[in-house]
Every structure is written in C-alpha cells, then in structure tokens.
C-alpha cells in the first residue's frame, strides 16, 4: 500500500483563509511561502492566483479571486465560489497565521526530503563510479533541499 506524503489540509485551508481576510497577512505569506509548499493541487492554484492578483496591485479577496479564477477557467477546479467563501469564513482571525505557515513549511520540507531520499536510493542502486563523488553529490542535494527552509526564521506576521 502506498504511503501518503506528509501534509496538513487544515493548516493549508487556514493559511489561504487568512490571506483572504487580511492584506497584510497575505503580503507576508506571499513573501514566505511558495505554491509548491501546498499539498493539494487546488490549493496551489489558489495560492498562485492570489500571488498574481497581488502582483497586479489588486486587493486579494473572495471577489477578486473569484473573478480571476473565472477568467482563467479554474474556478471549478478549485472548489467554486462556495469553497472560497468557506475558506474566508473558516478563519476568525489571522493571529495564528505564523503557526499555520510553520506547519505548511515543515510538511513541504518533509515531502521534499522524502522525494530527494528516494532519488538518492535509486541512484545508489545504479553503478556508482567514485563513492566519494557520489557522497559529495548526495550531501549537496540534501543541502539544496534544506537551505531554503524558513524554520526558525519566520517574520512576525501583522495581526
């Protein structure tokens, strides 16, 4: 039976909801997260859409997000207007956004480590020419995964 990659859908939804109800929180999260941090495809699409709206100097809210997604024919793929409203209404405050972001980043890092480890194992089964070169490459690959992590370096989000 295949194992599921680490994720926390409640934290993802809460983070997206926080972005919809606070422009300051949205700006901070956009600077600290990436679409690849999200587990669900629909959440990645929503994050990317919010990023595009923000980059166009437009307010990020349910209305602008709905309009953007309709224009791109992605609204149904992301759960429709009902889901966007659910996201914005499910978060009463943005006070816990830093916590949600930490969870998102940790789960994303674990997924990247699992994927990199799997690739390393596959390469180790192949013919390894020079073991020292191989180990050096493995170390470099792991450092590349972990160097971008935000753990311990969170900015205080506006509340």
Q: Give pLDDT tens digits for 95-135.
A: 999 999 999 999 999 999 999 999 999 989 988 889 999 99
Q: Which of 114, 95, 23 is nearest to 61 (CA)?
A: 23
Q: Which of 88, 89, 94, 44 is nearest to 69 (CA)?
A: 44
Distance CA 105, CA 158 (A): 19
> Which residues, including other chains, have CB under 8 Å from residue 119's CB and lie 6 or more apart?
141
pLDDT at position 157: 45
């Amino acid at each position: 039976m295949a194992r599921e990659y680490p994720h926390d859908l409640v934290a993802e939804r809460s983070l997206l909801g926080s972005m919809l109800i606070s422009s300051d929180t949205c700006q901070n999260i956009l600077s600290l997260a990436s679409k690849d941090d999200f587990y669900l495809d629909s959440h990645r699409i929503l994050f990317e859409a919010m990023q595009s709206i923000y980059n166009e100097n437009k307010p990020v809210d349910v209305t602008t997000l709905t309009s953007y997604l309709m224009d791109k024919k992605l609204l149904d793929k992301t759960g429709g207007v009902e889901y966007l409203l659910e996201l914005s209404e499910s978060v009463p405050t943005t006070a816990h956004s830093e916590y949600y972001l930490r969870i998102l980043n940790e789960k994303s890092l674990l997924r990247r480590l699992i994927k990199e480890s799997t690739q390393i194992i596959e390469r180790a089964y192949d013919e390894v020419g020079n073991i020292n070169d191989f180990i050096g490459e493995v170390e470099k690959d792991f450092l590349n995964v972990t160097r971008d992590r935000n753990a311990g370096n969170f900015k205080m989000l506006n509340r």
